Amino acid sequence: MTEYAKLLPTTNAASWTGRPFHRQWLMRQANDLFDFFQEASIDPAGGFYELDDAGKALNADNNICQIHTATRMVHCFAIGALIGRPGSGEIVDHGMRYIWDRLRDGRHGGYFWSSDRNGPVDTVKQAYGHAFVLLAASSAKLAGHKLADKMLADVTEVINAKFWDDKRGAVREEFNADWAPVAEYNGQNSNMHMTEALMAAYQATGDKSYLDKAERIADLIIGKHAASLDYRVAEHFDGDWAVDKTYLGNEMFRPAGTTPGHWLEWSRLLLQLWTLGHKRLSWMTDASRQLFRRSIELGWDDKHGGFFYTLDWDNKPVMTEKLWWPLSEAIGAAAYLSDHDRDQYFQLWYRKLWDFAANHMIDHKQGGWRSELTTDLRHSARLFTGKPDIYHALQACLIPLYPTTGSLANAIIEADHTSHY
């Protein structure tokens, strides 16, 4: 036990996730997110709108739908269908048809980054986007969508043929529409989300090759690189997978330095991967704990609360905005760790994170979660306009409600099979 355990009295030490009120509160928060996004996000011409703070469509007259927006909506509403949320099936169908008909490249194969009502807009093919196609198809398969098997087979073939680097045990970053390479750059973020998607595909199909790839990515990104950097996750690599600490990229998707939110995301994913791999790779459990603790030690703002978006390699905050997604990922990681580890440090932080979310990040008046706060917790929109997506916050609400044994969609099915009505 750590010193933090002393802060939970025996009268209030039981896990929140086992308490009926907390479970009802979590499901209510999830339902509020579904309410906010379900109707307002639908573009009748195909795809999905991004929403402003009040839940109104941004750029409704010239909507450009990016691949991660469409695929995340499919994934989340497939989850909605699995938990019994009415209307979810039509959203899944709307999204699946858009991905297949409008984002899939029928000539060269693969999936474009974005499309509008006239056709493809950004034709680059990123591992990041293909990871979410794999996740969406896997979740849609579990929800019973008729296009899921075809999409799953298609995107798997593309990943294996174009993105997977078997020598390195990771996916290559991006290509032009005709599969000409873009640059000598490799990124951990695309590989992290590919790990998430590969686990989902493994649970949807039973094909162990997905799990094998996920384990190899984790070994490279965390077992080799993060472990050697005192469990700080390097974001950017050159073409030979050497860490590039000087990289300056897009502030939103490829910010310089390191991003504590990704340490937290990996903390949960490693426990999922360890469980799915029959708990044989014991290094993953220690790495999960280390990543969570380091994110708190270095990334949490002790004065105001919330996670700094980025740190430099001297561990100093650089981008000090407090975003919704690192907080969401921290909640999911804390839920997993609390379930697998008796150290009450993780339960304490699970509660503290939800306290912060309830008091600062959840928009109780307009719905959804605020996407961005300043250092001192005022509403901001320097990086993100409006409320970009449902994905991170929804999973934060639902992960604590289901078995911590793998991907969320499969965990819902597992819980259904063990329930008695």
Following CA atoms 412, 414, 416, 417 in sequence, which dihedral angle do they give, to the nearest 10 degrees? 170
Q: b vs e for 363-399, b when ≥16 Cβ sit within 10 Å of the residue's Cβ?
A: beeebbbbbbbebebeebeeebebbbbbbbbbbbbbb
Do 214 and 151 touch, CB atoms closer than 8 A?
Answer: no
- Choose the catalytic residue: 364, 392, 417, 420: 392
Length, in residues, of the chain: 421
Report the alpha-carbon distance of residue 87 to residue 92 in Å, rounded: 9
**Percentages helix, strand, coil for the chain, rounded to the nearest 5?**
55, 10, 35
- Known catalytic residue: 262? yes
Report the alpha-carbon distance of residue 4 to residue 107 in Å, rounded: 57
Evaluated on CA atoms 17, 354, 131, 258, the torsion sign reads negative
Find the angle CA(25)-CA(193)-CA(264) to the nearest 5 degrees: 55
- Choose the catalytic residue: 75, 94, 236, 262: 262
Both structure tokens of 225: 């690189």
Both structure tokens of 82: 């699995």
Q: Which residues are catalytic?
A: 262, 392
